[in-house]
Amino acid sequence: MSPPEKYYITFRKNARLAHLQGAHYNVIVKMKQKVSTLLLLPLLLLMTSCLKFHEDVRVSKEAAVEVSGSFYLSESVLADSTARDQFGRYYDLSRLTETEDSSQLIEGNAYSGFRYQAEPSAYTAEKNGSEMTLRFSIPAFDDAQFDLDVLGGDDDLSALKDYGVETTITVEMPGKILSATAGEFEGKTLTIDLLQTNGTEVEVVSRIENKAVEAAIAVGGIAVLALLAYPLLRK
């Protein structure tokens, strides 16, 4: 065998070996990526299936706003952190004016967290005649709060509902709600699911109840009926 032919065969063998090694490396990398995903998935599900956040907003007839709420995490996911630390990931803790630590059972699982009252600067109420308008912003949640890449790149936060996450705002207006740019309303109450309403401006309009006016209208109606009925009674 001549030297050039020998070197050519050796080169082909090395190239083939390099190709096989490269393919093997790609398979290993993909397997490692898959294994990493499978390892992260239970952790993600553990973290996301144990979060309960509710904020209650009450608007008075004088346009005063009161804000309170609660935040709970399953005790199994807190480890070295506290519910307050986790809460601070997406909520301005400086808004809190009063807090009370609390623990409770939710669906048979032990939860730790706290109830709070908050400074209402994030909510603006405006009275105009018989109507009350409330305006506030809902922040845009992203991977800083919930890493959804492990679920296949799904950027839809509502997917977290399937794992038990609850994040809602309930608004109580001083009268029947006429319109709202987000959420669902019935009577005086508006409910917004933050996993379905992400990064938007909310405006709620209601008609202010005035019992004195309603009573006067009722009395006036009775008086009119009495006047109409009087001639018939005389006959």
DSSP states along 133-163: EEEEEE----TTT---GGGTS---GGGGGGG
Q: What is the mean pLDDT of each run of 10 residues along the chain (235 residues)?
A: 49 47 41 35 46 95 96 80 81 92 87 94 95 92 51 61 84 98 97 89 92 51 58 57
Total H helices, total E strands in the chain: 4, 11
Structure tokens at 85: 């630390």
51, 120, 116, 49: which is closest to 86 by C-alpha? 51
80, 103, 83: which is closest to 91 by C-alpha? 83
70, 174, 66: which is closest to 120 by C-alpha? 66
Per-residue pLDDT, 234: 57
Per-residue pLDDT, 8: 44
Per-residue pLDDT, 29: 38
147, 195, 187: which is closest to 169 by C-alpha? 195
Structure tokens at 102: 């609390």
- Cα 90 to chain centroid distance, Å, stands at 11
SS3 210: coil
Per-residue pLDDT, 82: 82
Q: What value, to the nearest 5°, has the Cα angle with vertex 153 and ends 182 and 45? A: 80
Per-residue pLDDT, 80: 67
Per-residue pLDDT, 195: 84
- Cα 118 to chain centroid distance, Å, stands at 17
β-partners of residue 65 are 59
178, 175, 157: which is closest to 167 by C-alpha? 157
Per-residue pLDDT, 43: 39
Per-residue pLDDT, 186: 97
User: CA-CA distance, 63 to 97, in Å (whole number)?
Assistant: 20
Question: Is residue 144 classed exposed, middle or buried when 0-12, 13-18 and 19+ CB atoms within 10 A define those classes?
Answer: exposed
- The 10 Å Cβ neighbour count of residue 207 is 16
Find the helix or strand (DSSP H, E) in which 123 lies. Answer: strand 123-128
SS3 199: coil
Structure tokens at 146: 């919930």
Q: How far is CA 86 from CA 43, 83, 174, 176, in A?
A: 16, 5, 33, 36
